[in-house]
Amino acid sequence: MRNRLLIGTTLALMAGWLLPVLTRVAAQAPASPAYRAPRTPDGKPNLNGIWQTMNTANWNIEPHPAGPSPARELGAAGAVPAGLGIVDGGEIPYLPAARKKQQENYANRLKLDPEIKCYLPGVPRATYQGMPFQIIQSTKHIMLIHEFAGAVRTIYMTDQTEAPADSWMGWSNGRWEGETLVVDTKGFNDLSWLDRAGNFHSDALHVVERFTPRSAETITYDVTLEDSKVFSRPWKMSMPLYKHVERNAQILEFRCVEFVEDLLYGHLRKQPAK
Amino acid sequence: MKRTVFGVVAAVLLAAAASAAQTPSAKQTRPYKAPRTADGQPDLQGFWTNSTYTPLERPDGVTKAIYTPEEAEAAIKLAVQRESAQTEPGTTADVHYDFSQFGLDRSQSLFVRNLRTSLIVDPPNGKIPPLTEEGKRRTAQRAEDAKKLGGRWDSAESNQLDDRCLIMAGPGPPMMDAAYNSNYQIVQPPGVVMILTEMIHDVRIVTLDGRPQPDAKVRQWMGVSRGRWEGETLVVETTNFNGKNPFRGSDENMKVIERFTRLSDDTIEYKFTIDDPTMWTRPWSAESAMKKTVGPIFEHACHEGNFGLYNTLVGARLEEKRQAEEALKKGSK
């Protein structure tokens, strides 16, 4: 009895000590400062390639347990896998009204999630939505080509301007800070979400992403999100990106408009004459 | 096979003759050599447009391949008038937004001028060649299938691809004038040429590493493109189409061969050959150009803002209801 208590306490203590350490390691995934990426012909760290995340953030960027599928017919195939979360500190610092809105979004997610309607995924959701994306890197422009809905981002490295209009994928200007590509994105509309759990932002969203090569086949992806209409302070998320090393890897078409027409417009179909 | 080679050779010869007629200054000086990317490829990067009034097929009644400059101007003038013609207020046609008012008609932006009477240079008559027997059968079948889907406003699925925001004329391949916003951006990291089309942000990533085409079961709206450099020319071969976006009646067996050659700082020559032996009795080729334009390319979130499709379907159902009620009233009288 005493032994069991002792073991239990020790385990609890260990867990109590280990968990924050593990979480911190996972959350920060520090790039080895010694790593120097191969260079492009113009001397910049070479990020060209096809990349993908390996986490369950698209289901919920906050820590979450496994749960049932929101669509009954899909059973276990559509069920939600658990996740440790990618938000620094675990919880998004919502303003009180915004947390309430997120909860409403969650309750109505089958009707409201823009992903279900094949809408452009926004930023940073496009990165961890679960499908691969290709970095096409040149001196003036770095393109991010996403498989989901064929979403495209242009990062202006030289001819930088303010966002000319609001858009789904925002307006991105980039710069190199040593080994790190820093991308500053504004000019969002308020229509995209951050995940399938109804986490959201407004048109005041300002995203700063940092892509730091940490090995030949991984990049540390750190993001700061700021949105004074929705969050009480700026907050961070972090995760690794993994490179596709298959020789024949390529971005394929996922032209999902075709797959959602019946869902969006089926009720407006002409009915046979009675 | 022999015929294919002959067709291509004939096309190249004709095209050479035609571009000589079209750009004499470029031919008098020594051949233009494109600037190089950092890794030594001819540099095609930047913003381009293929907007043009030149039709793919030679108009009926026109017998020559090349207009005089005066004739070309007259043809453009006529096309501009036709394009900016005003619809009658109060008619269904007038419901669409005014192209000229929003600066969408070609004449208000940069467009490619051309002395050709058609983009098609082979066959020499400037027309798409006749269909094969199988091609005729498939064309009839396609019309039959479309009929089964119902009228244009019966459902989303029975409407046109562009109204559904599925795909437009720009990305191809072959890449065609898209009626408006015919803008492209090319970015070339080592081993890849990326072509972004403004219309519905369609992207082609052309791999240059000699990899084979994927399994024939992998089929896409834009096919799968593989490229290589032949001197100054980027040659791109595309197969694995899904046949859902027929190019002038093509089918899933279509193979498109495109040739991009930078002729000057502000021009890329664009030639393509369509080889679809299921549909046509012979391959056919066209020639066009891309002119340097200014960026940036804006986000074209077509599907996300597609109120047009939604509203026309709502309108069609309301109209049916109104007609049914009217018929009922008439019957009860």
> How close, in Å, is residue B119 to chain A by CA atoms?
29
8-state DSSP, B117? S
Nearest CA in chain B to A262: B156
Lookup result for tokens 């189409």: B241
Angle between helices B307-332 and A257-265 (to 10 degrees): 40
Average pLDDT, chain A: 90
pLDDT given at position B30? 63
Between CA A44 and CA A58 the distance in angstroms is 31
Nearest CA in chain B to A258: B166
CB contact under 8 A, B38 and A251: no
Between CA B321 and CA B326 the distance in angstroms is 9
CB contact under 8 A, A270 and B296: no
Q: What percent of chain B has pLDDT over 90?
A: 74
Q: How far from A115 is each of A262, B154, B240, CA to CA, in Å? A: 15, 26, 27
pLDDT given at position A87? 98
List the 149-168 stretch of B: residues with Cβ below 8 A of A: 150-151, 153-157, 164-167
> B98 in a domain, yes or no?
yes
Which of B203, B297, B321 should be substituted to probe chain A, the one whose Cβ sees the most A Cβ atoms within 10 Å?
Answer: B203
Cβ-contact A127, A219 below 8 angstroms: no
Between CA B308 and CA B198 the distance in angstroms is 19
> B319 in a domain, yes or no?
no
8-state DSSP, B57? S
Residue B214 sits at the chain A interface (C-beta within 8 Å): yes
Encode pLDDT of A108-140 as tens digits: 999 999 999 999 999 999 999 999 999 999 999
> B221 in a domain, yes or no?
yes
Residue numbers of the domain that contains B97: 2-300
CB contact under 8 A, B205 and A40: no
- Find the CB nearest B187 among A141, A165, A251: A141
CB contact under 8 A, A48 and B192: yes
Show the tokens assigned to A224: 């700061």
Cβ-contact B312, B156 below 8 angstroms: no
pLDDT given at position B114? 87
State the pLDDT confidence band at B256, using cuts at 50, 70 and 90: very high
Find the helix or strand (DSSP H, E) in which B320 lies: helix B307-332
Nearest CA in chain B to A274: B324
Dump the DSSP string for B162-211.
TTTTS--TTTSSSP---SS--EEEEE--TTEEEEEETGGGEEEEEE-S-P
Encode pLDDT of B141-161 as tens digits: 999 998 898 899 999 999 999
Q: Is the confidence at residue B305, as pLDDT, over 80?
A: yes
> B313 in a domain, yes or no?
no
Long-range pairs, A224-228, Cβ under 8 A, ≥24: A225/A124, A225/A201, A227/A201, A227/A202, A228/A204
> B329 in a domain, yes or no?
no
CB contact under 8 A, A152 and B154: no
* Mean predicted confidence (pLDDT) in B275-289: 97
Q: For strand A49-52 and strand B120-122, is the pairing parallel, antiparallel, or unpaired?
A: unpaired
- Find the CB nearest B202 among A140, A150, A270: A150
CB contact under 8 A, A136 and B155: no
pLDDT given at position A238? 98
ipTM comes to 0.87
> B148 in a domain, yes or no?
yes
Q: For strand B284-292 and strand A218-226, is the pairing parallel, antiparallel, or unpaired?
A: unpaired
Lookup result for tokens 């990020």: A47
Q: Is the confidence at residue B85, as pLDDT, over 90?
A: no
State the pLDDT confidence band at B83, using cuts at 50, 70 and 90: confident
CB contact under 8 A, A167 and B222: no
3-state per-residue secondary structure call for chain A: CHHHHHHHHHHHHHHHHHHHHHHHHHHHCCCCCCCCCCECCCCCECCCEEEECCCCCCCCCCCECCECCCCHHHHHHHCECCECCCECCCCCCECHHHHHHHHHHHHCHHHHCCCCCCCCCCCCHHHHCCCCEEEEECCCEEEEEECHHHCEEEEECCCCCCCCCCECCCEEEEEEECCEEEEEEECECCCCECCCCCCECCCCCEEEEEEEEEECCEEEEEEEEECCCCECCCEEEEEEEEECCCCCCCCCCCCCHHHHHHHHHHHHCCCCCC
Distance from chain centroid for Cα A245: 21
In this structure, what is the dihedral angle of CA atoms B23, B24, B26, B27, given to the nearest 10 degrees?
120
Residue B10 sits at the chain A interface (C-beta within 8 Å): no
* Mean predicted confidence (pLDDT) in B233-247: 96
> How close, in Å, is residue A195 to chain B by CA atoms?
18
CB contact under 8 A, A264 and B156: yes
Find the helix or strand (DSSP H, E) in which B226 lies: strand B224-230
Between CA A103 and CA A68 the distance in angstroms is 17
- Find the CB nearest B201 among A118, A141, A152: A152
Task: Tell me the sheet residues that pair with A155.
Answer: A142, A172
> B152 in a domain, yes or no?
yes
Q: Is the confidence at residue B96, as pLDDT, over 90?
A: no
Nearest CA in chain A to B41: A41
- Weakest mean pLDDT among B103-112, B121-130, B154-163: B103-112
Nearest CA in chain A to B164: A257
Lookup result for tokens 């108009």: B59
| Residue B240: how many other CB atoms lie within 10 Å | 20
- Which residue type sits at B108? Q
Q: What is the pTM assigned to this prediction?
A: 0.88
Between CA B132 and CA B136 the distance in angstroms is 6
Cβ-contact A201, A124 below 8 angstroms: no
Lookup result for tokens 């004709």: B14
- Find the CB nearest A167 among B156, B299, B303: B299
Using an 8 Å CB-CB cutoff, list chain A residues near B196: 143, 152, 154
Which segments of B69-140 are extended strands (E)? Answer: 120-122
Using an 8 Å CB-CB cutoff, list chain B residues near A38: none
Show the tokens assigned to B317: 């159902």
Which of B244, B299, B325 should be substituted to probe chain A, the one whose Cβ sees the most A Cβ atoms within 10 Å?
Answer: B299
List the 23-42 stretch of B: residues with Cβ below 8 A of A: 37-39
> B232 in a domain, yes or no?
yes
Using an 8 Å CB-CB cutoff, list chain A residues near B220: 252-253
B143 — alpha (psi -120 to 50), left (phi > 0) or beta?
alpha
- Cis status of the peptide bond prior to B69, with omega within 30 of 0: no
- Find the CB nearest B155 among A136, A252, A269: A269
State the pLDDT confidence band at B12, using cuts at 50, 70 and 90: very low
Average pLDDT, chain B: 89
Q: Which residues of chain A have pLDDT under 70?
A: 1-33, 273-274
CB contact under 8 A, A154 and B297: yes
> How close, in Å, is residue A230 to chain B by CA atoms?
23
Could you state, in order of their start, the residue ranges of all structural domains in chain A? 31-268
pLDDT given at position A33? 60
| Residue A14: how many other CB atoms lie within 10 Å | 10
pLDDT given at position B13? 40
Q: Is the confidence at residue B29, as pLDDT, over 80?
A: no
Nearest CA in chain B to A50: B205
Encode pLDDT of B163-203 as tens digits: 999 999 989 999 999 888 999 999 999 999 999 999 999 99
The contacts of residue B97 (CB under 8 Å, 6+ apart) are none
